Amino acid sequence: MSEASSLPPQLQEQLLRLQQLQQTLQVVVSQRQQLELEHSEVNRALSELEKITDDSTIYKTVGSILIKSERKKVIDELREKRELTETRIKVLTRQQTRAEARVKELQQIIQAKLKTSV
Amino acid sequence: MSQDDEKLRRMVFELRVLEETVNTLQTRIGFINAAIRELQIANETINGIKNEDKGSHILVPIGGGSYINAQITDTKNLLVGIGANVSTVKNIASAQEDIGTRILELEKTKNAVQKQLEDVNVQIRRTQNQLRIMARQQNEGNMNV
Residue of A7, A49, A59 to mutate, interface with B, max B Cβ within 10 Å? A59
- Domains along chain A? 4-116 (1.10.287.370)
How many structural domains does chain B have?
A: 1
Residue B73 covered by a domain = no
Q: Per-residue confidence of chain A (118 residues) as pLDDT tens digits?
A: 455 557 788 888 999 999 999 999 999 999 999 999 999 999 999 999 999 999 999 999 988 789 999 999 999 999 999 999 999 999 999 999 999 999 999 999 988 888 776 5
User: Mind listing the pLDDT tens digit for each residue in B7-41?
Assistant: 888 888 889 999 999 999 999 999 999 999 999 99
Strand partners, A20: none
User: Mind listing the pLDDT tens digit for each residue in B32-54?
Assistant: 999 999 999 999 999 988 888 88
Residue B85 covered by a domain = no
DSSP letters of B66-113? Answer: EEEEEE-S-SSEEEEEEETTEEEEEEHHHHHHHHHHHHHHHHHHHHHH
* A66/chain B closest Cα distance in angstroms: 8
> Is the Cβ pair B79, A59 closer than 8 Å?
yes
Residue B69 covered by a domain = no
Residue B126 covered by a domain = yes
DSSP letters of A16-74? Answer: HHHHHHHHHHHHHHHHHHHHHHHHHHHHHHHHHHHTS-TTS-EEEEETTEEEEE-HHHH
Please name the member of B2, B3, B86 whose beta carbon is closest to the beta carbon of A58.
B86
Residue B66 covered by a domain = no
Residue B60 covered by a domain = no
**What CATH number did the domain enclosing B31 receive?**
1.10.287
Which domain covers residue B100, as residue numbers?
A: 3-51+93-144
Residue B129 covered by a domain = yes
Identify the contact set of chain B against chain A, taking CB-CB distances under 8 A. Answer: 1-3, 6, 79, 81-89
Residue B139 covered by a domain = yes
